[in-house]
Amino acid sequence: AAPTQSPRTTVAPSPIPLPAPERGNYTITDGNGTACLLALMGLQLNITHHSNKVMNLQPNRTTASGSCGVPRATLMLSEDLTNLTFTFTLNLTTQKFFLSAVKVSAFWPDMTDWFVEGNGSLNFLQCSVGRSYMCSAEQMLAVVPTFSINTFRLQLQPFNVTANRFAAAEECRVDQENMLIPIIVGAALAGLVLIVLIAYLIGRKRTHAGYQTI
């Protein structure tokens, strides 16, 4: 039976900004039923083919499949007529993993044919093996000139998952910088307070000295 779900894929013309996508929870399990790939993320797809189209992946209508392995793991996400394949590669020399390939096929309303693109020589979301990659800030992954993915509140681990849980996170640069700003501002304020305090103490000592000589 055909699923009786209300609206189809939401596609907005580019001038109307879409809200941030909902965060999906995608897990791949191995033959034994234990999680071997974990991904938490909101995804927004941006196709500039004939015209610009942006679409949020809706987690509750998206199915995840894939496979785990070394040195390659894949995550496939499908929603209606949108299919995405992410390939993660583990470099055993550097002991780092990264998103090495992305494939997309999409047939959205007002497209005349399937949009099919891919890039197998990417190097995104790099992270040490045994850790999970985390990026709360929005990140743009440029796959090909006509297709990019915006990620939101992302955490993923395609290798060495134990106990169905994420390992310690390695944060992306933007997140680290965002965390650094309050620290720098705080340190600057603390420094200012200290300078004022020292100036005050020196001033008081001088005044005291002044009284004594008179």
Ligand X SMILES: *[C@@H]1O[C@H](CO)[C@@H](O)[C@H](O)[C@H]1NC(C)=O
Look at residues 55, 60, 28, 22 and name the one whose alpha carbon lies nearest to residue 41.
22
Q: Quote the radius of gyration of the chain (alpha carbons, Å).
A: 25
Please tell me whether residue 150 binds ligand X under the rule CB under 6 A.
yes
Q: In this chain, which of 45, 54, 102, 125 binds ligand X, going by CB under 6 A? A: 54
Smallest gap, in angstroms, from Cβ of residue 195 to ligand X? 44
Q: In this chain, which of 5, 95, 162, 176 binds ligand X, going by CB under 6 A? A: 5
Smallest gap, in angstroms, from Cβ of residue 141 to ligand X? 9
What is the Cα–Cα distance from 101 to 111, expressed in whole angstroms? 24
Q: Which is nearer to ligand X, 147 or 166 (CB)?
A: 147
Q: In this chain, which of 2, 4, 19, 32 binds ligand X, going by CB under 6 A? A: 32
Smallest gap, in angstroms, from Cβ of residue 194 to ligand X? 44
Task: Give the binding-site size for ligand X (rule: CB under 6 A).
Answer: 22
**Centroid of chain to Cα 32:** 28
Please tell me whether residue 67 binds ligand X under the rule CB under 6 A.
no
What is the Cα–Cα distance from 150 to 54, expressed in whole angstroms? 10
Give 186's Cβ-side CA count (13 Å radius).
5
Please tell me whether residue 177 binds ligand X under the rule CB under 6 A.
no
Q: In this chain, which of 40, 77, 122, 172 binds ligand X, going by CB under 6 A? A: 122
Please tell me whether residue 84 binds ligand X under the rule CB under 6 A.
no
What is the Cα–Cα distance from 60 to 56, expressed in whole angstroms? 12
What is the Cα–Cα distance from 149 to 82, expressed in whole angstroms? 13
82 CB neighbour count, 10 Å cutoff: 21
Write out the residues near ligand X by the rule CB under 6 A. 5, 14, 30-32, 46, 48, 52, 54, 58, 60-61, 91, 93-94, 119, 121-122, 144-145, 148, 150
